[in-house]
């Protein structure tokens, strides 16, 4: 397959080439690209997106800028290259605006602030710190690592939730099929025999008849109920109430707290390593914490202003664990607080991964057992009256 490749070559600048390769992973090893840095590639014949909607691809933009800067291009040259590559798209519009601000004499971080929908405060702060130190490639690499860690954690949690949801959906469909279709057919057998089911079987047949006779209304009701739940959960007040309820569950609340603390430690560590003062960093990360922890963060900032070390202030604000406090205290004494915060985040990321794996291994078999028990119970209650009829005939 042929690919259109944009690459940067030392001494030659940016070049567009057509390269033949069996897969995108093998493009960089093509002879024509030796000594160059691949910025982007796309299969020939694939049309570029020209729509102006959608979301700005910040991770992709950061990777491309990092490649261009490492290849020796300036920030302006890199933005010009990327803007030319995505002409007519939302990305091109934003990059063109950045170039305009840079040519007016603004710094890159100030230009990024004009587009808060594309560049979050954490990203702007990272770039601003790199402008002070003169090491923007390192700052961009640090943000890429941060984004990958956060994305991996989210992906792990979402993946763990998908299979149980599918199991519950399939179990609900099978149960409704048995109650709404199979049970009424069995009811006809007992109607012809002149006998009525007894005990739990009679309740099962009553539910089956109700579902069968009101299937349309029940389907509409389920759709409306789902739409209502989606609408309710879209309200911030409802989401906050559900979150508060989850936090009150002893085991679950502590696990949720670990997830947010790990993200807090990683973000704080990244900003501290970028050269941003601790007090400024803590003010910037307030938005990533839930309301249950945000008050503790405000208390921590107040204690730091009164001269307390960060480890003690974070402990009084409820933002540490015994392990985290010891590691943060070591980072303060060694002057490597940013590195230590990221080490704490890595430690708890691994802990969260183990918890998710344990939950998956325990919950999925338990859920399958419950679903199997429900379906098996329905089948058993269906056949029990038949066994009784057969015994009477004998």
- Over range 261-282, report the average pLDDT: 83
pLDDT (tens digit, 9 = 90+) per residue, 33-60? 676 666 666 676 554 544 445 678 888 8
What dotted CATH number matches 142-394? Answer: 1.20.81.30
Please give the pLDDT value at position 50. 43
Enumerate the β-bridge partners of residue 135: none
Please give the pLDDT value at position 10. 62
The larger pLDDT score, comparing residue 166 to residue 22, is at: 166
pLDDT (tens digit, 9 = 90+) per residue, 357-387? 887 788 888 888 888 888 888 888 877 777 7
Percent with pLDDT over 70 in the chain: 84
Token pair recorded at residue 278: 């601790």
What confidence category does residue 12 fall into, taking pLDDT thresholds of 50, 70 and 90?
low
- Where along the chain do its domains lie? 1-48, 59-119, 142-394
Burial 126-149 (b: 16+ CB within 10 A, else e): bbbbbbeeeebeebbbbbeebbeb
CA distance 265 to 281: 11
pLDDT (tens digit, 9 = 90+) per residue, 338-360? 889 888 888 888 888 888 788 77
What pTM was computed for the model? 0.62
What confidence category does residue 113 fall into, taking pLDDT thresholds of 50, 70 and 90?
confident
Highest mean pLDDT of the ranges 16-25, 209-218, 233-242, 322-331? 322-331
The larger pLDDT score, comparing residue 124 to residue 393, is at: 124
As to burial, measured by CB atoms within 10 angstroms (0-12 exposed, 13-18 middle, 19+ buried), residue 36 is: buried
- Over range 68-91, report the average pLDDT: 78
Token pair recorded at residue 47: 């049309």
Please give the pLDDT value at position 47. 47
As to burial, measured by CB atoms within 10 angstroms (0-12 exposed, 13-18 middle, 19+ buried), residue 210 is: middle
Please give the pLDDT value at position 393. 52
């Amino acid at each position: 397959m042929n690919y259109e490749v944009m690459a940067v070559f030392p001494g030659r600048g940016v070049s567009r080439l057509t390269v033949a390769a069996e897969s995108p992973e093998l493009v960089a090893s093509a002879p024509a690209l030796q000594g160059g840095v691949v910025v982007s590639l796309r299969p020939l014949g694939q049309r570029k997106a020209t729509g102006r909607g959608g979301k700005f691809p910040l991770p992709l933009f950061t990777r491309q800028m990092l490649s261009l800067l490492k290849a020796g291009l300036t920030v302006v040259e890199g933005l010009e290259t990327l803007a030319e590559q995505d002409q007519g798209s939302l990305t091109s519009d934003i990059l063109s605006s950045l170039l305009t601000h840079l040519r007016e004499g603004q710094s890159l971080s100030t230009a990024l602030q004009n587009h808060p929908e594309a560049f979050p405060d954490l990203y702007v702060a990272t770039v601003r710190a790199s402008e002070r130190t003169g090491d923007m490639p390192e700052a961009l690499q640090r943000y890429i690592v941060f984004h990958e860690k956060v994305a991996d954690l989210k992906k792990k949690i979402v993946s763990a939730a998908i299979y149980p949801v599918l199991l519950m959906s399939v179990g609900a469909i099978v149960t409704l099929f048995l109650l709404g279709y199979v049970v009424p057919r069995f009811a006809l057998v007992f109607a012809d025999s002149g006998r009525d089911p007894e005990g739990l079987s009679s309740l099962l047949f009553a539910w089956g008849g109700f579902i069968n006779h009101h299937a349309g209304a029940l389907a509409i009701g389920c759709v409306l109920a789902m739409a209502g739940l989606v609408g309710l959960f879209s309200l911030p007040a409802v989401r906050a109430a559900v979150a508060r309820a989850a936090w009150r569950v002893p085991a679950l609340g502590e696990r949720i707290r670990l997830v947010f603390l790990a993200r807090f430690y990683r973000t704080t560590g990244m900003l501290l390593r970028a050269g941003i003062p601790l007090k400024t960093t803590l003010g910037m990360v307030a938005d990533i914490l839930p309301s249950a922890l945000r008050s503790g963060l405000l208390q921590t900032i107040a204690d730091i202003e009164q001269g307390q070390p960060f480890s003690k202030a974070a402990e009084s604000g409820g933002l540490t664990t015994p392990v985290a406090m010891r590691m943060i205290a070591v980072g303060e004494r060694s002057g490597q607080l940013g590195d230590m915060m990221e080490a704490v985040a890595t430690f708890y990321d691994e802990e969260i991964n183990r918890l998710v794996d344990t939950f998956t291994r325990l919950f999925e078999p338990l859920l399958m057992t419950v679903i199997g028990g429900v379906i098996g119970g329905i089948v058993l209650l269906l056949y029990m009256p038949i066994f009784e009829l057969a015994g009477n005939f004998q």
